[in-house]
Structure 1
């Protein structure tokens, strides 16, 4: 307690530490409330002698006896009576400032706007159930979804967004993360595509197709190409699009094939984009790295109750959508 109030003293008053001790305010508040050195000592966890020394310091600082004898009791002086309410208000404010924020949130009355940056695929598949869950629990909360063109952390660092949903690997060690789901790549092609006829898809037949790839940066290489290279194979990428939903739409209306995360195909608890587009998925005939999708945020909001609630509801929606 001495250390915390000492820091507050330096922040508020540009004077030396020894000139004032804000712990004396807490002691004075308790003394005036109890009217007893012994009872005040019990509340503060001090010995009666230590409490008596504290009262002596208070008398020296204020220049007033503060508590005087009236028979067997102590009564406040007139000056102490004028201080009682002010001292209590100051100590209550100090406790409120230093009290942990958790546990004080009432989401039903929460009024705020959360900005969440997501990929196009996540926006298409999970934004609706997430918006519904947030609105049901917190009807006064607004949500602003923004597409993420890159993985740069400056928007989180500068407080321009509250939360980012993306693949783990953001180059900012101070950011906090929470795993939302484990994903993997599968192949997709239109119904009736020649690749899907004649049994299991082989790496050779897959590589021989024309491909559409999803890449925000416009690069033609991705994890699939690394896997094919290990088999001494190479595919021909004819089209590059910004996101997986775009790749799926092109695969649905052409003979191009695409590799997309399983989450893009939907499931029984969200929409079914694969069925709606008329495409079929198939297991890739080689291994690709697991995709770890996480919630990412800045430490400045780590302990904020509203932000903690947001992270929890995002995690729950993802868990329900992709068990």
Structure 2
């Protein structure tokens, strides 16, 4: 018996891509942490190519819990996520199933997919330093250097418990161990210009306003600011900084991913796997690159011209699964050093 797909959801938490969701012989039901406007062009291209329809539910949180609670009656076929930690956690909760696909294996490098084939990366983004063009002369930096007292009162960042920050701290644990990372985190905290607050764009705004000289953020936010015609003041923020790719001359700049997994009880498994393979294809990867200012994971697909204008860098090649495994310890360190209280 075909499982029903309920489009009535809690308005406060979830948004459905259309007022009503109709069934077809071939379809894929998607729960997504990626905002609809970012992925709808990809879904439209998939439907045009295959005739398979897609139904989309978006939320900021709670999708893994929802899928688990729905159990074998869940209508969800795919989960799209914005962070490897969420993908790994979802797999550990038992809501994913492995996908053995020669296409996915060929299109997605090994360090961007789970060793047990339970999740797959689709795009990558680098965690970089936004540096004031006026007040920062150096043109290279390392993450380790952020704890140097020369940056005292000069660093802005978002909450230590945000997924992006946790990912960076987890990467430091993988490279240096927990004890050394704790010391490093204490040093970064001492160098904060203010308590961690706001999103990545807010950090660039703070540099523009002179509240700090450097800030941590993801690369794609630069593209969003540079092309924001609705809020042109963001173009001014972006113009005030330049991107430094930490550790690019050494072990590499920390990267995270957006990605996907096939749910354990996917009612439309065959169509869902076709969508997964399409999202890893050159066509879809190019759409990602041009529309989202992210780096394609498929080798040979170039970033957009705007993204390439920021410069090249060496990405950290450590397996993302190792970083995901260190996230719990990273979160504990944030609390231990009371990072979000800011500098004393």
* TM-score (normalizing by structure 1): 0.47
Structure with more relative contact order (C-alpha pairs < 8 Å, separation 6 or more): 2
Q: Which has the larger radius of gyration?
A: 1
* TM-score (normalizing by structure 2): 0.45
